[in-house]
Amino acid sequence: MHTEKTALISVYHKDGIVEFAKRLIALGWRLLASGGTARHLGAAGVVVTDVADKVGEPILGHRVVTLSREVHAGLLAKDTPEDSAELKRLGIDRIGLVCVDLYPLENAIAKPDATLTSVLELMDIGGPTMLSSASKGEERIVICDPADRESVLAMLESRLPFDGEFREHLAAKADFVVSKYRMLTTRYRGKGAFEAIHGTHFATCLYGENAYQTPAALYSTNSDDPLALDKFQLVDGKPMGYNNWCDLDRALQTITHIAAGLEVNTGEFPLMAVGVKHGNPCGVSYGIDWSGILQQVIEGDQLAIMGGLIMTNFTIREEQADVLLTHKMPTGKRRLIDVIAARSFSPEALGNLKRKGDKCRMVANEELIKIGLHSLDTAPRFRYVRGGFLKQPNYTYVPNFSDGSVVCHGAPRLDLVPDLVLAWAIGSTSNSNTVTLVKYGMLIGNGVGQQDRVGAAELAIARARRSGHDIKDAVAYSDSFFPFDDGPRTLVDAGVDAIFTSSGSVHDNDTIALCKERGVTLYMVPDKIGRGFYGH
């Protein structure tokens, strides 16, 4: 029924909008625009009608200009003889394209002096309402993201019928943007009463944790975090799977905690590498020699690292790739690694790391070289539970062995602080309960996910010995206090030199007495400050 083409433009981000408008006019579209956008286009010589000229005298300081029947009838009218005749009788244009983006309300909310009045004053009502009406109105083209403008123009300029699937995608995106926008004030005003998670599809996984769990995918919250998973580039190999993404996230927690702990306690920014299997570190090392670091990561637990993920904050070149594949392997055999995450890869390394069937995935992120205290993930963490979800702040505690919060019982061992920091970073990003053993800058045993501390200590010792490590002179970390002195005794009997744990047990004095008697330095931080439970 409809032949005339009218587009409505109301944008906050005006970069490129003049060219966009001119190309629409060249395609035969008439333009309506809200006040600021109309002035911007008019100043550039674009023929445009201000919406205010269509809806009558502006009221309430222009706050309801686009909230008018003339606009929303134009967006909601169906392409039928009855609706077309009614629009014609009322002198209302049928609007076939809407280009609207919203004021960044998150900036207003983030201001230190933000108040409910200041936030509501900047809250966009007309924009989200136009997007919702355009989404509901059938056969409308809805643009809520400046990145979509070129794609829409290209389709229109092709003179082919507008792709219906693309149109539906744009409408769904508008609904998503409005929903996400509404949650900004919902959170601000609700003071914790309401919460939601919004994400956009980033990567499809072949399946979830198990083959029968399909479909599965990674969704991005579109954060500015340079270490967010969507900032990692797959440079070679098959697409990442669900478990690969989980391991990558866990390795990031560990490597950033190592970097943060070393920065706070030593001021160092060394090269480092982390190997994880099923999310838990099984090989970790740092230093200035990449060859020694990678060798120690592999030697930490040669059995566990097979089929695992290795993350480094340095570039993988041909020599490094050779160490990863062949160190401690029988002649002619290559180590199987599922994922290698690094700052970057040389072409020679990529060629060397390829596995039959492209099963070794190589992902890169230049930001890994810059990790430090500022790299800790500070976004809230969510966890699905049946019928709802849990929310908590992220894991951001970093011990400082010199500020008095960590109490030393026995002779201080400043020479062991780097190892204690490394053990803490590993243990506090492993599934609780955990006891972790570190010696000379490398992980030698990680007893994770146990239901008692003695069992965690015994597991860490057993894994270290299985891999041929001598526990004498090692340090130990426990992610919470020892309820009795049996756990510490297990570690002391095995030969550890120092223990870092939390205090809070009614039997703390027994643990302190044991360590003093055996000449083992004990560092303790109050459990309510420094407990290291993770992935409970």
Other beta carbons within 10 Å of 417: 22
What CATH architecture applies to the domain 6-190? 3-Layer(aba) Sandwich (3.40)
CA 94/CA 77 separation, integer angstroms: 7
List beta partners, residue 8.
Answer: 32, 98
Pick the range with the lowest mean pLDDT from 46-55, 192-201, 350-359. 350-359
Q: Three-class SS of residue 234?
A: strand
Polymer length of the chain: 536
Tell the CATH topology of 399-530. Cytidine Deaminase; domain 2 (3.40.140)
Q: How many Å apart are CA 259 and CA 398, to the nearest integer?
A: 10
Taking residues 96-123, report their average pLDDT.
93
Q: Same CATH fold, 399-530 and 227-375?
A: yes
With a cut of 50, say whether residue 33 has pLDDT above it.
yes
How confident is the model over 499-514, as a mean pLDDT? Answer: 97
pLDDT level of residue 10 (50, 70, 90 thresholds): very high
Q: Which two tokens stand for residue 455?
A: 């069992």
Q: Which residues pair with 273 in a beta bridge?
A: 285, 312
pLDDT of residue 3 exceeding 70, the answer is: no
Q: In a 10 Å sphere around its CB, with 0-12 CB exposed, 13-18 middle and 19+ buried, how is residue 148 labelled?
A: middle
Tokens of 182: 């509404």
On the CB side of 406, CA atoms within 13 Å amount to: 24
Q: pLDDT averaged over the chain?
A: 94
Minimum mean pLDDT range among 53-62, 134-143, 258-267, 353-362: 53-62
| Domain 227-375 CATH class label | alpha beta
Confidence (pTM): 0.93
Domain boundaries of the chain, sorted by first residue: 6-190, 227-375, 399-530
How many angstroms separate the CA atoms of 257 and 261, rounded?
6
Q: How far apart are CA 325 and CA 332, in angstroms?
A: 10
Q: What are phi and psi of 487, to 5 degrees?
A: -65, -50
Q: How large a percentage of the chain has pLDDT more than 90?
A: 90
Res 287: pLDDT: 95
pLDDT for residue 321 is more than 50:
yes
Residue 58 has pLDDT above 90, yes or no: no
Contact indicator for 428, 395 with CB cutoff of 8 Å = yes
What number is the average pLDDT over the span 510-517? 97
pLDDT of residue 1: 43
Predicted pLDDT at 125? 92
How far, in Å, CA of 194 to CA of 77, rounded? 34
pLDDT bin (cut points 50, 70, 90) of residue 59 is confident
Q: Give me the numbers of helices (H) and strands (E) for the chain, helices first please.
A: 20, 21
User: Average pLDDT for residues 155-162, to the nearest whole number?
Assistant: 92
- Mean pLDDT of the region 239-264: 97
Indicate the range of 115-124, 257-266, 381-390, 413-422 predicted with least confidence: 115-124
- 3-state class of 8 per DSSP? strand
Closest CA to 366 of 192, 234, 221, 231: 231
Q: What is the arithmetic mean of pLDDT over 133-154?
A: 95
> Is residue 2 predicted with pLDDT exceeding 50?
no
Cβ proximity of 153 and 146 under 8 Å: no
Please report the pLDDT score of residue 432 as a whole number.
95
- DSSP character string of 264-275: HHT----EEEEE
What are the pLDDT digits (tens) for 202-220? 999 999 999 999 999 999 9
**pLDDT exceeds cutoff 90 at 512:** yes
Predicted confidence (pLDDT) at residue 161 exceeds the cutoff of 80:
yes
